[in-house]
Chain A
Amino acid sequence: MTFVRWLNEIGPDDQTAGGKMSRLADLARAGFEVPDAFVVTSVAYQTVAANCALGAVIERALAGIGPDDFDELAAAETRIREHLAAAPVPAEITDAIAQAYEDLCVRRREVRLPVAVRSSSSTEDAVAASSAGQYDTYLGLAGTAAVLDGIRRCWGSLFGARALGYRMRHDLSHADSPMAVGVVELVQARASGVAFSVNPVTGRRDRLVVEATFGYGEALVQGLVNPDHVEIGRTDRRVLSYKVGDKRLVSTMDHQAGHVVEVEMPASMRRLHVLDAEEIDALVEAVIAAEEMLGQPADVEWVLARHRRPGDPATLVQVRPVTTAVEPAPDAAAWNPAASALKYAFTPGRPPS
């Protein structure tokens, strides 16, 4: 039984590491700059769940509740999460996690290394794929106890009210959703964001998109911040537009609370450019390489570490295939006067020019 696996031990088809950590392992294997990490496999979760008879508890908690009874589902969520939080975790599991965390600190030469604890559900998890329930992520946890607590909470996030409702509606099993949890070195982020190797709105491949904000990426990923928006031409890597966002919030480390929090951005920083030309180049390089690795258009979550120097690669913390329908690249003869006239000059109902 393997409860813990390092990034370089995760194989290409390792189901027990979950989708998110498998893809991070893919990036590492392909030579991308990624944070050091280990995964608490779904085997660990399944062992804990079996030990505490979770299946029966879920069944009782959901008895007589329909998929749209939101208040009742929320109450069931509380009961299931409380049960999991109190469930005994076998010593072999806690020991393995504690040891791995200590090893991670040693590898990074930092005592009480802050980490991101991320849910990594199965790639076949329909709930994750449908965005019906976003599973938990905790940024900036430090120390064994906090890390263990974060892992338990990630397990519990399988049973959020919306995820419960989704599974009921689609007749999916609650107990059979395995959950792995990644423990990932928290890269000290000067800036974070996302990048797309295809325009996610138009599906056109000649235009790449980078979105960026200061600090950690949580506020951006959760859609809480209006980021800088950069568009880049794929062929000549030229910046086509750079729209500075009004960044009202920033994700930053709260050392007293012991994790990353969202706070108001100081007015003097809200409208500053996040990225310079060299950084944009590095991000374009990374997202195009990620696309090549996947063999299809990609989106990545990236971090520019405080210690990064010009010329260094950007750090990637996540990669996904883009699901937008991809338009064929325009060819040189794309301006057809007759087609444009038909579309715009001869058709009533277009907006006035």
Chain B
Amino acid sequence: MTNVVPVDEFISDSWYPGYKPARDDAGAYTEGLSTFRKEDESRFWLLDFHYPRGMVPLGYVFPEDGICFCTQQAAEQLPLPTSGGLAVRMAGPHIYTSEVPVTSPWAIGERVDRVQRSLPDILGRFEQTWADRISELTRGLAYFEGQSYDGRDIRDLARLYEEAITFHRRAWTIHFEIMYPLLATYVGFHGTCLELGIDAAEIAKFLQGYDSKIMETDRALWDLTRKARAAGLGSIFETTDATQLASTLRATPAAGGWLEEFEAFLRTYGHRTEGIADVVLTPWIDDPVSPLGTIKTYLQKGTDHDFEKARIAATAEREQAIDAARSRLTLEEQRTFDAGLAACTSANFAWWNEDHNYYIDLRAHIPMRRAGLAIARALGADRSDDGLFLFRPEVRRLADDQRAWASMRGLVEERRSYYEHWLSRRPTMPKVLGTVPEDMSDPVMREIFGTNAGFFSAMKRLTGDTSDVTTLTGVAASSGVARGIARVLHGAEELHRIQPGEILVCEATSPNWTPAFAKIAACVCDSGGTLTHASIVSREYRIPCVCGVGIATSVIHDGDEIEVDGTTGTVRVLARAGVSS
């Protein structure tokens, strides 16, 4: 690969059929959503692995508000010294992300000065701030989740839609308002620890073992698994396809008691989708195929995941790692370390990065989905999901004019095929576009997306023939060694292919992948650093994990036998699929 990946094939002025964004649709903070232009080639763009399906029109509010507006606003408010937040280019409906650079030496100087004054206060107030934000989010979610959307007056629905957009933007404002300072603080502490001679593999352990809402959800699923087994439902789960489980169970009188518990689970944990901020996905509470499928695979595993044991082990390992690190520091160094650790424990990024998904990433877009779909249905849409193919200004206009659905029919069909076309293109789209740099400045890009110096040097290995590459290196994200069969997955919908004891190889994981970690032997990701989802969850589940490998999904083939050393950050291909070792 050369240092520049041409953007030419994605340079375009066209969006979804029949759509041209107007200037005031989104209200961008610094740099709004746009398509690629030739001059974008001088910047670095990463195909954003968080959104593997791209966006349907109704979901464009997310890259506009959630990414552009909210990251740029947060980057200005903290501020980040050399990054103005994230910028987005759309290639078809797919999101490429970059950072908004800040280059003026005067501006950087002022921003350095401001962040030095703002950060300590933000950290000092974090526990109170997050408690307040949780209450606010919980009240907002309860407001929307308590609404009935069917049979409502279209003006009510239009008002709800506007409220849902406002809530969504507020939720993502909170997201980045907290993510940037916590992440920056953790990365600073990480650097301080390295300076004190503490081994990098130890540092991540200092903040593990704290219970998050996502772990709580997973624990509830295991609880339901045990109860399903006890209720004698094992064989139904075993013989029924996940998509048919809900109807089959409802038709089974003996499952009645269990289903009641499952419905209660959904009322608490079911207001979530299988992916981040994607309105195309049906929430669990509306279609529980995903949690039922998860319970099905948990039953296949045979043995229960002992959460208490794993949590105790993670906590013990944490305390041991802290004691061992402190014992090697002078009293003066201990004071520095203790102050940093205390700040990072109270404002614990590793924990927050899981916990917040329950309130924001998997949930805050659902009210927009509900209102948008309900408006389309109220106007006489043909299919229940037609509303997904309307853009924000169109929803507003249609609701205001109460125009008949007929005017949208042809366009919606065209957009549906546009989406399908780009969905099938996704696996072959370039992972990066533009100029590959040596490193990046935005902490979210570096630590969450994993686009750091190591990632870029791995990307450069893709230049030549990789068929004889059998040893890969990346970030040692969770310690331990495991061997097993590699399952190379391109999306969460393929998770059912993975068998207990196999090794997950993928671009990256997100919270909806969490249940798989109870059955896999190890995890390898192309993207990410010690703070990405896969790293954090691997440590909680105590399996080896190597992230930021860059070329794992290209070099490792489905069915290969591989060895993952999460202590050294190495992955070896032991035997190729179909070739006996």
Q: Which residues in B have their C-beta under 8 angstroms from that of A350?
A: 191, 439
Does B256 sit within 8 A of A, measured CB to CB?
Answer: no
Per the 8 Å Cβ criterion, residues 38-68 of B in contact with A are none
Q: Among A342, A346, A347, A353, point to the contact of B190 (Cβ < 8 A).
A: A353
From A199, which residue of chain B is reached at the shortest CB distance?
B330
Q: A235-252, CB under 8 A of B: which get 1 and which 0?
A: 110101100000000000
Does A86 sit within 8 A of B, measured CB to CB?
Answer: no
Does B5 sit within 8 A of A, measured CB to CB?
Answer: no
Is B335 within 8 A of A337, CB to CB? no
Is A340 within 8 A of B191, CB to CB? yes
Does B395 sit within 8 A of A, measured CB to CB?
Answer: no
Q: Among B82, B117, B189, point to the contact of A346 (Cβ < 8 A).
A: B82
Q: Which residues in B have their C-beta under 8 angstroms from that of A241?
A: 328
Known contacts A338-B115, A341-B119, A346 near B80 by CB under 8 Å: yes
Does B336 sit within 8 A of A, measured CB to CB?
Answer: yes
Is A335 within 8 A of B190, CB to CB? no
Is B453 within 8 A of A352, CB to CB? yes
Q: How far is the CA of A330 from the CA of B335 in the complex (A)?
A: 9
From A207, which residue of chain B is reached at the shortest CB distance?
B330
Is A334 within 8 A of B335, CB to CB? yes
Q: Which residues in B have their C-beta under 8 angstroms from that of A345?
A: 183-185, 187-188, 191, 443, 447
Please list the residues of chain A having a beta carbon within 8 angstroms of any beta carbon in chain B. Answer: 206-207, 233-236, 238, 240-241, 329-353
Q: How far is the CA of A235 from the CA of B330 in the complex (A)?
A: 8
Is A352 within 8 A of B438, CB to CB? no
Q: Which residues in A have their C-beta under 8 angstroms from that of B82?
A: 346-348
Known contacts A332-B335, A332-B339, A341-B188, A348 near B440 by CB under 8 Å: yes
Q: How far is the CA of A353 from the CA of B529 in the complex (A)?
A: 7
Shortest distance in angstroms between B16's beta carbon and chain A's nearest beta carbon?
35
- Dominant SS at the B interface? helix
Shortest distance in angstroms between B371's beta carbon and chain A's nearest beta carbon?
38
Known contacts A352-B454, A353-B530, A343 near B115 by CB under 8 Å: no
Q: Which residues in A have their C-beta under 8 angstroms from that of B120?
A: 336-338
Q: Among A235, A342, A344, A349, point to the contact of B116 (Cβ < 8 A).
A: A342
Does B484 sit within 8 A of A, measured CB to CB?
Answer: no
Q: Which residues in A have their C-beta under 8 angstroms from that of B116?
A: 338-339, 342
Is B340 within 8 A of A341, CB to CB? no
Number of A-B pairs, beta carbon distance below 8 Å: 135
CB pairs A–B below 8 angstroms (9 shown): A233-B330, A241-B328, A332-B336, A334-B332, A337-B119, A338-B117, A346-B82, A347-B82, A353-B447
Q: Among A240, A339, A342, A348, point to the contact of B439 (Cβ < 8 A).
A: A348
Q: Which residues in B have their C-beta under 8 angstroms from that of A330?
A: 332-333, 335-336
Q: How far is the CA of A35 from the CA of B119 in the complex (A)?
A: 58
Q: Which residues in B have their C-beta under 8 angstroms from that of A331?
A: 332
Per the 8 Å Cβ criterion, residues 185-243 of B in contact with A are 185, 187-192, 200
The residue among A207, A240, A345 with the most chain B CB atoms within 10 A of its own CB is A345
Does B452 sit within 8 A of A, measured CB to CB?
Answer: yes
A-B pairs with lowest CB-CB distance, top 5: A340-B188, A344-B191, A345-B187, A233-B330, A352-B454
Is A335 within 8 A of B339, CB to CB? yes
Is A235 within 8 A of B184, CB to CB? no
From B327, which residue of chain A is reached at the shortest CB distance?
A240
Q: How far is the CA of A240 from the CA of B440 in the complex (A)?
A: 36
The residue among A233, A337, A338 with the most chain B CB atoms within 10 A of its own CB is A337
Q: Which residues in B have their C-beta under 8 angstroms from that of A340?
A: 185, 188-189, 191-192, 340
Q: How far is the CA of A339 from the CA of B187 in the complex (A)?
A: 11
Is A206 within 8 A of B81, CB to CB? no
Does B455 sit within 8 A of A, measured CB to CB?
Answer: yes
Known contacts A349-B453, A353-B200, A342 near B112 by CB under 8 Å: yes
Is A346 within 8 A of B475, CB to CB? no
Q: How far is the CA of A348 from the CA of B443 in the complex (A)?
A: 9
